[in-house]
Structure 1
Amino acid sequence: MTTTPLLPNIVAGKAQMGQGPGTPLFDPVLGTELVRVSREGLDLASAFAFAREQGGAALRALSYRERAGLLGAIGQVLQAKRDDYYAIATANSGTVTRDSAVDIDGGIFTIGQYAKWGDKLGDARALLDGERIRLGKDPAFQSQHVLTPTRGLALFINAFNFPSWGLWEKAAPALLSGVPVVVKPGTPTAWLTQRMVQDVVEAGVLPAGALSVICGSSAGLLDALQPFDVLSFTGSAGTAAQIRGHAAIAERSVRCNIEADSLNSALLDPNAAAGDEAFNLFVNEVVREMTVKSGQKCTAIRRAFVPRALYDAAAQAIGAKLAKISVGNPRHEAVRMGALVSRAQFDGVQEGLAQLLAEATPLYDGRAQALVDADPAVAACAMPVLLGTSDPVKARVLHDVEVFGPVSTLMPYDSDAQAFELIRRGQGSLVASVYSADPAFVARAALELADSHGRVHAISPDVASLHTGHGNVMPHSLHGGPGRAGGGEELGGLRALGFYHRRSAVQASTAALDALAASATALTY
């Protein structure tokens, strides 16, 4: 008999229980069952229709400013229940407090930013995209591009690592655009997403059908999509390939945004010296990105490049800091790094690490260290491992396999050109970071790497106390990347609204365009 509660799905503006025993969610440290989720028996077609016809219509009836007010109200609901969310994150994601903050407070912060940006769009219900264009000698007949909210829904199929931020960084621009949201969270950590949506819906701050959550299997979700819906997926490249071939995308032209695998890099200036400011910033950031959320970040540093002369010094400095990281039960005050989200993820990290070890050797291996207040036979706690290779040019697996955990590989380079080429062998990444006190080198590196990265994060001594971090995704900047990273784009301020709008050219008289402009506002970034 099932003793743990079955979480309700929230669709058509109300809680609806799935059928059957459901899928259990566990505490990744203690191994205890927490709750169960199921979407069996849900009528997806009706749920999606309600979101489009009820939630979408109600949202589109509002101005951007009014919808921004809804985002502000969501933020207040979530802020009032932060303690509950932290408790769920500790239990279901196995994260220490600082890592839970990245997810929970990061999501609330993003909602607040879009509330502020949306308020500045005023009482408009459409966006003007660019200036008017004369279509002939007589200026009386012109073309004006406009952006109007799509009359579909936004389906988010999200990953397990950010159950809060992963929802709200997508939902904020979608709701501001006037598009209803249906989220299918990653099952292992679905509890936090489900609870947040339930709290917001029960608070009554959104129109019925504007926000829904479906927990459990994703089977059939894409079948229910219609041409004016949009889909955003975060997860593996393998699943992304299946999505791209689905009839919803291939035949019905559902707009699709994908964030997939990413072998992100960090690059130290060739003129740096051991112990100087750029060197120390590089070392600190590599350690932070290996250990925050136990390395379970799409933006984490997977490959770290240093001038060959600094290879040994960098290995020693990074290893010394990793040795101070205590790993185990996040409830213990001495613990600085918690667990992976499940034993399945733990096994996946070990398998991936074995692949990397075919081309690299451990420079720091924390696997011999004891866990704090956790049973290694039960807890999904992975120790940090820094790998290294003296010949990254000959490596293949190191530039191809992403281990989604506290693992990074240090690699030496012999010239700027070689470093840039090695970084580009990641085949497209979300972010690369550059560490240098030389503005000219930063500029050169940024231009060399921009075409293969969604973001280039340059850290110099003058911004040491100001920069937001290699792996922190700020709503102001673009999040996404080309190639193997998925080819998608999210955030970037108001640029994010473009995904949820349809661009159309209105060719009309100047008088008609003047009338149109009265209910629209210019989209400025």
Structure 2
Amino acid sequence: MTAAAPPSTVSETAGLVPAWLQWPAWPFRAPEPQSPRKSETDLMDLKKFYIGGAWVTPHSSREFPVLNPATEEQIGSIILGDETDVNTAVAAAKAAFDSFSRTSRDERIALLERLLEICNARREEMALALSAEMGAPISMARDAQADAGIGHLEGVLAALKSQQLRETLANGDILVREPIGVCGLITPWNWPVNQIALKVLPALATGCTCVLKPSEHTPMSAAVYAQMIHDAGYPAGVFNLIHGDGPTVGAGLSRHRDVDMMSFTGSTRAGVAVAKDSADTVKRVTLELGGKSPNLVFADADLEEKVTASVLECMYNTGQSCDAPTRMLVERSCYDQVLEIAKAAAAGQAVGNPAEEGGHIGPMFDRIQFDRVQSMIQTGIDEGATVLTGGPGRPEGLDKGWYVRPTVFADVTNDMAIAQQEIFGPVLVIIPFEDEEDAIRIANDTPYGLAAYLQTGDPERAERVAARLRAGAVHINGGGFNYGSPFGGYKQSGNGREGGMLGLEDYQEVKTLHFG
């Protein structure tokens, strides 16, 4: 099977409903398109890979189930690729690089702008896929998860339009920026499209070609994204998609001699493996890894507003965000007041069916993560921390699905496992501090450095403390991340930056021209 798939929209036109939207467990229906598009090609099939501009049958036949985390039911399956599939995809990307790397910036901008139109038109379809495969409530899947693919594309376009690809240095030499080559891209399940966009888009923008290995747990959104790239008109081989696990496909890309760069987002453990596998070929490696982000709350902050918002931020996406503010450090003088506010905020956080609209949170993405979060909650209890609200088990009335009770621990010390390890669930730990110096010491006492948060009514303190926090981003008084800014961390949270101008530069080589 080598034909490309048709547009992935539900239509009354016979034969245009994607196969995976016909699964019995799929709980949604996408809106009718304004003008149904006709196609003679075959339906998109999750058991196919997108290689060389077409949906093709993999060499491997090893199946992997796709589960709905809210129902625990299988809603499809994919094929986990093997070494032959990796080689085929890399060969397609390598063959396409010679011509695509020589396209003009204007040509690449035109392709990205066409992709932006398609992403906007198919936002709802993307949201439906995300909600079904990883349990994001549909409102959040639409407004944040799917929106990230659009927002990051706008940020990449702005950066590309303003970047100097050729400049004269003060000494008279010429500096030229060129695409690095074939890029291997590995993305996680917790923000699927957000991370796909942050890797695929700078590759396409700079003239690179790529092979994407999305999380095997969230293949549906990746398939929708691949189809959108196809429909935008990218040349065959520029973008390729294969499914697989880390030890086979992930390692295969990392070790491949024809892959010039690896970009990985996921756990620190897996990131170390990617770096080691890439070392023998001395390829560039960028890593966006874990976090245990501190949130410093000073007594001069608007406690009711800032603490409530901080708790909800920690619980957002069911706590499955690497930069979530999961360690709340609270000035001793307002500690008891903060505990009451935090308890009420967490207790008021609704948990429910991701198919329903609303501001609730959904389940964990799979049983393994559910079990891990349950184990870490029990560890906190065993360590002597006080459960303010939540605790082990599922929320009342939810006896099916991988749902976790929003949990807040008080009386935590920073040497506890729940304060040092990334739990990746709706679990907040609260630690008291004595003064500004003590707060900074505790905040930086972590192997991670992805993000930090700061709540204070004193602008001078905000600048002073932010300057000393060892983190790639500091969010002050509720300031959110904006598309187009660089994202990345210090220490074991990784290296390199994604998004904006710095995100483009990670995919570029620098050449200097010396004229006689």
TM range (shorter): 0.7 to 0.9
Identity among equivalent positions (%) equals: 24
**Secondary structure, aligned partner of 2:115:** helix
Q: 237, 243, 250: which is aligned to 1:215?
A: 243
- Cross-structure match for 1:139: none
Cα offset, 1:322, TM superposition: 1.7
Pairing of 1:291-306 with structure 2 (within 5 A)? 291-306=315-330
Q: Is the 8 A contact 2:318 2:362 kept in 1?
A: yes
Q: 386, 389, 413: which is aligned to 2:433?
A: 413
**Secondary structure, aligned partner of 2:401:** coil
1:14 aligned onto 2:51: no
Question: For 1:15-54, what per-residue CA distance to the aligned partner results, in whole angstroms no more than 9, with x for missing partners?
Answer: 1223425100011011111111114455322321221221
Q: 482, 501, 511: which is aligned to 2:508?
A: 501
Pairing of 1:207-286 with structure 2 (within 5 A)? 207-218=235-246, 219-220=248-249, 221-222=252-253, 225-226=256-257, 229-246=260-277, 249-272=278-301, 277=302, 279-286=303-310
Structure 1 stretches lacking a partner, 5+ long: 135-141, 510-525
Normalised TM-score (structure 2): 0.85
**Secondary structure, aligned partner of 1:245:** helix
Q: How many residues align?
A: 468
- Cross-structure match for 1:329: 353
Q: Is the 8 A contact 1:385 1:407 kept in 2?
A: yes
Q: Is the 8 A contact 2:486 2:498 kept in 1?
A: yes
Change (3 A) 1:106 1:79: same
1:456 aligned onto 2:474: yes
Change (3 A) 1:369 1:23: closer
User: Which runs of structure 1 show a deviation greater than 6 angstroms over 4 or more consecutive aligned residues?
Assistant: none
Cα offset, 1:361, TM superposition: 1.9
- Cross-structure match for 1:45: 87
- Give the partner amino acid of 1:479: F
Separation in 1 of the partners of 2:503 and 2:512? 20
- Cross-structure match for 1:36: 77
- Cross-structure match for 1:523: none
**Secondary structure, aligned partner of 2:488:** strand
Separation in 1 of the partners of 2:186 and 2:394? 36
Cα offset, 1:270, TM superposition: 4.4
Change (3 A) 1:444 1:426: same
- Cross-structure match for 2:174: 144
**Secondary structure, aligned partner of 1:43:** helix
Separation in 2 of the partners of 1:508 and 1:359? 69
**Secondary structure, aligned partner of 1:337:** coil
Separation in 2 of the partners of 1:223 and 1:366? 40
Cα offset, 1:482, TM superposition: 1.4
Change (3 A) 1:437 1:62: same
Q: 72, 76, 98: which is aligned to 2:139?
A: 98
Separation in 2 of the partners of 1:295 and 1:67? 36
Q: 106, 110, 115: which is aligned to 1:74?
A: 115
- Give the partner amino acid of 1:12: G
Cα offset, 1:65, TM superposition: 2.6
- Cross-structure match for 2:448: 428
Separation in 2 of the partners of 1:290 and 1:371? 21
Question: For 1:90-109, what per-residue CA distance to the aligned partner results, in whole angstroms no more than 9, with x for missing partners?
Answer: 21111112321311111111
Separation in 1 of the partners of 2:170 and 2:357? 63
Change (3 A) 1:21 1:68: same
- Cross-structure match for 1:110: 152
Change (3 A) 1:215 1:309: same
Cα offset, 1:228, TM superposition: 6.0
**Secondary structure, aligned partner of 2:514:** strand
Change (3 A) 1:204 1:443: closer
Q: Is the 8 A contact 2:291 2:450 kept in 1?
A: yes
Cα offset, 1:80, TM superposition: 1.6
Q: Is the 8 A contact 2:209 2:237 kept in 1?
A: yes
1:312 aligned onto 2:336: yes
Q: Is the 8 A contact 1:154 1:230 kept in 2?
A: yes
Q: 386, 390, 394: which is aligned to 1:361?
A: 386
Separation in 2 of the partners of 1:49 and 1:415? 58
- Cross-structure match for 2:403: 381
- Give the partner amino acid of 1:318: A
Separation in 2 of the partners of 1:155 and 1:67? 20
Cα offset, 1:359, TM superposition: 4.7
Moved more, 322-331 or 439-448: 322-331
Separation in 2 of the partners of 1:313 and 1:478? 35
Moved more, 326-335 or 183-192: 326-335
Separation in 2 of the partners of 1:40 and 1:295? 30
Change (3 A) 1:283 1:262: same
Question: For 1:413-444, what per-residue CA distance to the aligned partner results, in whole angstroms no more than 9, with x for missing partners?
Answer: 00111110101012232111111121110110
Question: For 1:256-315, what per-residue CA distance to the aligned partner results, in whole angstroms no more than 9, with x for missing partners?
Answer: 01112211111112434xxxx2x2342133222222110101111110111112112111
- Give the partner amino acid of 1:478: P
